[in-house]
Amino acid sequence: MAVLNVLGLIATVIFLKEMPRKIAARGHESFFAPLKSRVMRGVISYRTTTGIGTSSLMAFVPLFADLRIGLSASLIGILLAARTPVSILQSYTGRLADKWNRRSMVVCGGIASVLAVALLPLSGGFWPLLVVYLCVTLGQAFGIPPANAYVVHEGRTFGMGASMTLFMLAMHIGNGVGPIGLGGIADKLGLEYAFYAAAVCMAVGFCFLRGWSLVRPLIP
């Protein structure tokens, strides 16, 4: 991992060039100015709860596969690695977000992810667990790129750096809080309930996104 980080640093130094700066609209210099946007608040809620769902996969799927299904370490590794090819689809769904209705993509991706996370504890073997696990990733691959597009759209008004930073911060807050909160639920109620709780959190964030969009229509 250390070697890979060094390679990433070298690639950044060599290939990442400074771009001309564009000044955001006046009156939005504050770091938290993007939070004035209802769309940004909705998207940040969505990204935070999506981060909670992602953390539930990374933290509890290996435990579930080992303790409940009895998979070997190699099969668990294959299960986790299978996420990568599906995640690459974001390069394609990102282009679709420039052509299709972004609201519909977020809705479909959000519903698919919530249902798949809720179905994870019902998986009784490697193949069912793999299919459901990939469905979660596929839903995120369709929902996250258009959410990014909303952030870029709002960033043109409130500042691109601040908007993207808050969006990424929301994801990492979800990733950090998720394992702790869901771990407490798993300790009290059982491992399966960590996935149910994650699905509920994702559904709540999805509803917040939809709620904000009803007040201010999202861009198509």
How wide is the angle at C-alpha 53 spanned by C-alphas 51 and 56, nearest 5°? 110
Residue 220 is predicted with a pLDDT of 47
pLDDT in tens, 40-98: 888 888 888 888 888 888 889 999 999 999 999 999 999 988 888 877 877 777 777 77
Q: Is residue 10 part of a domain?
A: no
In a domain, 12, yes or no: no
Q: Is residue 43 part of a domain?
A: yes
User: What residues make up the domain containing 62?
Assistant: 32-215
CATH of the domain at 187: 1.20.1250.20
Indicate whether 119 belongs to any domain: yes
In a domain, 20, yes or no: no
Q: What is the pLDDT along the chain (220 residues), one digit of tens a residue?
A: 899 999 999 999 998 877 666 554 555 556 777 777 888 888 888 888 888 888 888 889 999 999 999 999 999 999 988 888 877 877 777 777 777 777 778 888 888 889 999 999 998 899 999 999 999 888 888 888 888 888 888 888 888 888 888 888 988 999 898 899 999 999 999 999 999 999 998 888 877 766 555 444 444 4
Helix axes 38-64, 73-81, angle to 10 degrees: 160
Q: What CA–CA distance (Å, rounded) separates 37 from 154?
A: 8
Tell me how many domains the chain contains.
Answer: 1
| Structural domain includes residue 5 | no
Does any domain span residue 145? yes
